[in-house]
């Protein structure tokens, strides 16, 4: 996985680019991937000014793109862009977005079978890559916090959007609220004892939490088996 950063000319892109380069975000993520996965071809990991909030995987170019505007929006959603907490939260949510796009890339380059909508599957694989010990995310100190901030990003997006409309329910991605609770379920299910506060603090309804350990175990078994031939 090879990293490049494009130029930034707008205030939003400049802010997003600065966070990414100051934290060496893409370099650390690429190093995690290169240490963990046997890739059949080089994959470009690009920070770029896009003119809109976006991140994507392009199979034809074998290219993951993280838009600077996405990082800038995350900073604004999480609060004061100069706050250390906001910087950590925006960094973590962008890491989560990277793993979602990496999931699309792995499905493509390894020709992995899956059932269900690919966007939902990519969220599952992203959660596995972040939360599973000895999976892909190794060089960040608190993977669960990464996943929690990624989940919170969708809650904040939903609050910014307001009530969901028909186009939200018809979209390829699940609605943001559902993505939040799915991710929180998998975080809790990965270690219910460590994340018991998610129930007591109202972040995850108890009736969903009851099945989350088994839900995560099913997810982990499936992705461990599918990725096993490609892990270093």
Per the structure block, which two tokens stand in for 165? 């409309």
For 198-210, what is the mean pLDDT?
94
Query: Cα separation of 204 and 206, whole Å?
Result: 6
Per the structure block, which two tokens stand in for 70? 């996405």
Single pTM value for the model: 0.92
Q: What percent of the chain has pLDDT over 90?
A: 79
21: helix, coil or strand?
Answer: helix
Query: Cα separation of 68 and 12, whole Å?
Result: 7
Following CA atoms 125, 127, 129, 134 in sequence, which dihedral angle do they give, to the nearest 10 degrees? -130
6 Cβ neighbours under 8 A, 6+ residues apart: 46, 47, 48, 49
Angle at alpha carbon of residue 142, lines to 190 and 63, rounded to 5°:
90
pLDDT at 168 over 70: no
């Amino acid at each position: 996985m090879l990293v490049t950063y494009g130029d930034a000319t707008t205030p939003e892109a400049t802010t997003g680019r600065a966070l990414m380069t100051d934290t060496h975000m893409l370099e650390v993520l690429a190093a995690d991937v290169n240490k963990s996965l046997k890739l059949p071809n080089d994959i470009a990991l690009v920070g770029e000014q896009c003119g809109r909030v976006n991140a994507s995987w392009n199979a034809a170019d074998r290219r993951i793109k993280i838009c600077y505007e996405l990082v800038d929006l995350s900073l604004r959603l999480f609060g004061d862009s100069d706050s250390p907490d906001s910087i950590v939260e925006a960094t973590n949510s962008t890491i989560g977005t990277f793993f979602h796009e990496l999931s699309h890339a792995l499905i493509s380059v390894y020709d992995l079978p899956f059932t269900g909508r690919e966007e939902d599957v990519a969220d599952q694989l992203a959660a596995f890559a972040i939360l599973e010990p000895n999976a892909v995310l190794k060089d960040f100190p608190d993977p669960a916090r990464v996943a929690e901030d990624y989940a919170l990003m969708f809650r904040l997006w939903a609050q910014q959007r307001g009530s969901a409309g028909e186009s939200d329910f018809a979209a390829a991605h699940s609605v943001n609220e559902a993505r939040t609770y799915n991710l929180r379920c998998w975080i809790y299910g990965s270690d219910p004892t460590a994340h018991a506060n998610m129930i007591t603090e109202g972040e995850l309804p108890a009736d969903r939490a009851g099945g989350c350990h088994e839900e995560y175990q099913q997810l982990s078994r499936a992705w461990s088996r599918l990725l096993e031939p490609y892990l270093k």
